[in-house]
Amino acid sequence: MHPLDNVIWQALTTRQAHFAEGSGAGRRFIPDVSPLAAIEEVGPAGYRELAALLDPDDTLGIFLDDPYSPVSGWSYVVGAPLLQMICDNGKANGKHPSEPPALLELGDKDSPEMIALTALTKPGPFGPRTHEFGKYLGIRADGELVAMAGERLKVDGHTEVSAVCTHPNHIGKGYAAILMKAVMHGIRERGEIPFLHVRENNTRAIEIYKRLGFRVRKSGHFAVLRKA
């Protein structure tokens, strides 16, 4: 199996096992860190293991190779086709601004603002401890956090670029590309390959990622499920 196949499962059972709950065929991240979960193989056993970790009406997010098929004990909340992209060409393309903004490393004290920015821009699930996944960088304007990007899933030889977002009032300034290049540089400094996930219909973001050197590796689906 390639490290990026069933990537949430691989993260939960290898480099990020310290954030995992569960020890069987279904596991999830500590909820404050991420709502993401995974099963070792699609089938009843994995879903039963996941159900044992949740209270009734709890939800989780899962990556699947195929569209979600109904499973007893679960209800489908929302989902979308998903692309997994990888930048394995060893470089990040694109122009460099003549006066790049200052990039600040974000941490515990910035968590409320990070949650507020992701709630506004919706790059994906982000909780009070999501920033503990890895290094997060941000850009501030007049003291306000207006853009950020960081690291999420980590598997053998690869780290995911995630939570790439810009406040609507600051779109068009190139902040996403600037932040991504910096995050990707840090990943490559460790000898790893950057990858990411994006909704298939997010054409604007996909074009930015392609200009930075990413290519589509595989298609899949994201599903939010609720325990009945």
Q: Is the pLDDT of residue 95 over 80?
A: no
Q: What is the pLDDT of residue 89?
A: 83
Q: What is the pLDDT of residue 154?
A: 98
> Distance between terminal CA atoms of the chain?
32
In whole angstroms, give the CA distance from residue 192 to residue 228: 40
In whole angstroms, give the CA distance from residue 180 to residue 66: 29
Q: What is the pLDDT of residue 100?
A: 77
User: 73-82, 94-103, 107-116: which has the minimum mean pLDDT?
Assistant: 94-103
- Average predicted confidence (pLDDT) for the chain: 94
The CA-CA-CA angle for residues 113, 162, 168, to 5°, reads 50
Considering the domain 85-218, what is its CATH architecture? 3-Layer(aba) Sandwich (3.40)
Q: What percent of the chain has pLDDT over 90?
A: 90
pLDDT tens across 2-27, in order? Answer: 999 999 999 999 999 999 999 899 99
Sketch the domain layout of the chain as residue ranges. 7-83, 85-218
User: What does each C-alpha distance from 60 to 26, 27, 37, 139, 225 come to in angstroms?
Assistant: 12, 11, 6, 30, 6
Q: Is the pLDDT of residue 98 over 60?
A: no
pTM for the complete prediction? 0.93
Residue 166 is inside which H or E element, if any? strand 158-166
Residue 210: exposure state from Cβ atoms within 10 A (0-12, 13-18, ≥19): middle
Q: What is the pLDDT of residue 211?
A: 92
Q: What is the pLDDT of residue 90?
A: 66
pLDDT tens across 156-208, in order? Answer: 999 999 999 999 999 999 999 999 999 999 999 999 999 999 999 999 899 99
- Look at phi and psi of residue 195 and say left if phi exceeds 0, alpha if psi is from -120 to 50, else beta: beta
Listing DSSP states for 94-155 in one string gives: SPPPSSPPPPEEE-GGGHHHHHHHHHHH-SS---TTGGGGS-EEEEEETTEEEEEEEEEEEE
